[in-house]
């Protein structure tokens, strides 16, 4: 499909990952994303943590699966595991890839220690929120010999073990840690941009150089230029947007803001959304997000008569069907074989 932006150099991006040792499958996925950017938008969906009806609910409603599945490393956080949390998202992601889908992971990182653990809204289960922990990121990072610093490394190592399983299965991952940092509602953003940027770089170094994870495409989602860790550490820029119910605007202002975070051309994605944007509005406004990823729960499904069905509270069914069957969007059945997608050569 063509549109009036097809010749816009804004969307002409070289598929050069920041990790020079990136796996072939990671490079193939990046090549596809670069080839598609400005021409098609991949439809994505985040699954729930305790229950995950979203993908099947969408298939029942539209006859299609989204191209991109969203998963979460949350319950692999050590302070959750120690309290009995379980997670199968790594296995689900491997299956999703083998079924022909693209995988993205975020990490609602439970604070490594100092959880307040007071009900109703400051329990350990909410330990990624600033108000549920007294963990001081700036203090921990200031002393590499401190317990807090070591606990940070322990958590990164635990998540790296799960990511390694994905690499061994050949799965490239759109990796989106430390999301929405500038909001301050997560502990990794509570001490301002400096410590958060330092944590991003520490995680990048630990995962890339120490654990030698080469299948990650690094998606930065800090949402403010002051929090940008620098082009050598970022492959793709993401924005999380939750408009009012039935607001199908393109979110062009946020798209343009994301483009301004760096002078280097980067792919821009709608990494979380509640309401779905209208593809015609996106095309009209040149707000051509590389993909979207609708959040789980009530943004997608609701239980009626003891079964999960599509929920029209945020996006009406007719709008969902428009998106899933629009020539600008890509569903899983329309994806190429990303295990054999042509690799681009670089000078």
Just list the catalytic residues. Answer: 180, 272
Q: Is 129 helix (H, G, I), strand (E, B) or coil?
A: strand
Backbone φ, ψ for residue 236 (5° rounding): -140, 145
DSSP code at position 49: S
Annotate 223-292 with DSSP letters as a single string.
-SGGG---GGG-SEEEEEE-PPTT-----HHHHHHHHTT-SS--EEEEEEESSPPPHHHHHHHT---SBE
β-pairing verdict for 307-310 and 301-304: antiparallel
Q: Is 187 exposed, middle or buried (0-12, 13-18, 19+ CB in 10 A)?
A: buried
Q: Give the count of beta carbons closer than 10 Å to the beta carbon of residue 258.
A: 26
Distance CA 270, CA 81 (A): 30
Report the helix count and the strand count for the chain, using DSSP H and E: 10, 12
β-pairing verdict for 41-42 and 173-176: unpaired
Residue of 160, 173, 210, 158 whose CA lies nearest to 23: 173
Q: Is 153 helix (H, G, I), strand (E, B) or coil?
A: helix
β-pairing verdict for 102-106 and 44-46: unpaired
- Strands in the chain per DSSP E: 41-42, 44-46, 68-72, 102-106, 173-176, 216-220, 236-241, 267-273, 292-294, 301-304, 307-310, 329-330
């Amino acid at each position: 499909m063509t549109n009036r932006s097809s010749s816009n150099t804004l969307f002409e991006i070289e598929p050069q990952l920041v990790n020079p040792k990136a796996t072939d499958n990671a490079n193939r996925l990046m090549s596809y994303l670069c080839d598609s950017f400005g021409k098609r938008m991949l439809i994505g969906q985040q699954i729930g943590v305790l229950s995950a009806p979203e993908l099947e609910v969408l298939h029942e409603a539209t006859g299609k699966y989204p191209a991109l599945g969203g998963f979460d490393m949350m319950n692999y956080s050590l302070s959750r595991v120690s309290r009995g949390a379980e997670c199968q998202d790594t296995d689900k992601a491997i299956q999703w890839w083998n079924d022909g889908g693209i995988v993205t992971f975020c990490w609602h990182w439970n604070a490594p220690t100092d959880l307040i653990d007071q009900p109703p809204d400051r329990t350990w289960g909410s330990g990624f929120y600033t108000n549920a922990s007294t963990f001081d990121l700036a203090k921990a990072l200031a002393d590499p010999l401190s317990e807090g610093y070591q606990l940070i490394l322990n958590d990164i190592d635990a998540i790296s073990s799960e990511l390694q399983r994905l690499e061994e299965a050949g799965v490239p991952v759109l990796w989106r840690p430390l999301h929405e940092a500038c909001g301050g509602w997560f502990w990794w953003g509570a001490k301002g941009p400096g410590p958060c940027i330092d944590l991003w770089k520490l995680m990048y170094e630990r995962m890339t150089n120490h654990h030698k994870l080469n299948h990650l495409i690094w998606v930065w989602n800090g949402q403010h230029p002051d929090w940008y860790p620098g082009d050598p550490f970022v492959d793709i820029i993401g924005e999380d947007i939750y408009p009012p119910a039935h607001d199908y605007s393109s979110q062009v202002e946020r798209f343009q803001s994301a483009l301004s975070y760096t002078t280097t051309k980067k792919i821009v994605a709608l990494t979380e959304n509640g309401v779905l944007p209208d593809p015609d509005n996106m095309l009209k406004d040149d707000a051509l997000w590389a993909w979207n990823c609708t959040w789980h729960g009530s943004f997608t499904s609701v239980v009626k008569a003891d079964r999960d069905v599509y929920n029209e509270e945020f996006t009406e069914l007719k709008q969902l069907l428009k998106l899933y069957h629009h020539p600008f969007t890509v569903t899983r059945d329309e994806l190429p074989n990303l295990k054999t997608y042509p690799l681009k050569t670089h000078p």
